[in-house]
Amino acid sequence: MTPKSKALLAGLKDHDPRAIGRAISAVENNGMEAAEILSALDQDLIDNVLVLGITGPPGAGKSTLTSSLIRTLREQRKRVGIIAVDPSSPISGGAILGDRIRMMDHALDPDVVVRSMATRGRLGGLCASAGAAVRIMAASGCEVILIETVGVGQSEMDIVRLADITLMVLAPGFGDDIQAMKAGLLEVADFLVVNKSDIAGAEALCMDMEQIFSAKEEESAIKRVLKTIATDNAGIAELLNTVNRFSSYIKTNGIKEKRRGRALEAETLDWVFEILRPGLKQAISECSERSDPRVRAQELIDTLNL
């Protein structure tokens, strides 16, 4: 193990925010220390962390809700990690929205770790290194990790894959968007959070969503549609209490283990592609340009002996 890897691992054990950031950067950049760091992380801490996904359409108040969750978790003396997934800059490939700016209230708290991560060309989707970032934060002592995505679409499926529990945040006034999302809500969300619940239309939205989630509520005997006013911190404590009950439910019933198993399988495939991509691009450029893409793909597979 390199001296740099040893120093970063020691920093993680000491909850050093700089070490956490450098370790995640090493993984994002596929640096030589990445494999050494990831293979030496404390698995018990990783197993016990709670990973919450927060998704929903732009304007529903996801970032405000995330900030309120952080505040309440810190009042409960929990160490919190946040992964804010931003769309990639087409120039640099880096995150461009900068969710860390939106969470400046917590910037000076040593027990809050915030990391913006770019989608790396997959609009709304999680980058391949997000799973590794979760494990690094967990190994540094974060007890709850929040993942906030850009919006809806591919992000929903990716966040379901990575999070133990997923919150879909909606607000009154998103009529057409909500109608379009209804078919996928049950697949994506464990909980529906109606934010801005003090404005007109909130009660009707809650009733509508409760019909959709009624079967899930009967299955677990846990309420799945919850109201919040994130700007006033209203409903946040109840939301966290309900999430904790559900966390115990999925752990006891083996659901959490199955979800994490699927996540690791999908992440492994992502990393295979990320590691092979430079060589694949070179090999593709050497294939016959006149060939159909499907034929070129088969030529490449035959060449690689896969």
- Higher pLDDT: 12 or 30? It is 12
Inform me whether the pLDDT recorded for 174 exceeds 80: no
Burial of 191 (0-12, 13-18, 19+ CB in 10 A): buried
With vertex at residue 115, the alpha carbon angle to CA 110 and CA 117, rounded to the nearest 5 degrees, is 175
Q: Is residue 73 left, alpha or beta, with left meaning phi > 0 and alpha meaning psi from -120 to 50?
A: alpha
Indicate whether 202 pLDDT > 60.
yes
Q: Of residues 36 and 152, which shows the higher confidence score?
A: 36
pLDDT at 221: 84
Per-residue pLDDT of 219-260, as tens digits, reads 788 888 999 999 999 999 999 999 999 999 999 999 999 999
Averaged pLDDT for residues 288-300: 77
Confidence of residue 280 (pLDDT cuts 50, 70, 90): confident
pLDDT attached to residue 72: 96
Q: Quick one: pLDDT at residue 93? A: 41
What pLDDT is recorded for position 102?
54
Please tell me the total number of residues recorded for the chain in this structure. 306
Residue range 184-213: mean pLDDT, rounded:
85
* CATH class of the domain defined by 41-256: alpha beta
% of the chain residues with pLDDT over 70: 80
The structural domains of the chain, with segments of one domain joined by +, span: 1-40, 41-256, 270-304
d(CA 16, CA 8): 9
pLDDT tens-place string over residues 65-124: 999 999 999 999 999 999 987 654 433 344 444 444 556 667 778 899 998 887 655 433
Residue 220's pLDDT is 81
Predicted pLDDT at 99: 46
- Answer yes or no: is pLDDT of 134 > 70: yes
Q: Are 27 and 37 in contact (CB under 8 A)?
A: yes
pTM of the full predicted structure? 0.85
pLDDT for 24-50, tens place per residue? 999 888 778 898 999 999 999 999 999
**Among 179, 231, 239, which residue's Cα sits nearest to residue 57?**
179
Q: Is the pLDDT of residue 125 over 50?
A: no
pLDDT at 120: 57
Q: Is the dihedral of CA 146, 149, 152, 158 positive or negative?
A: negative
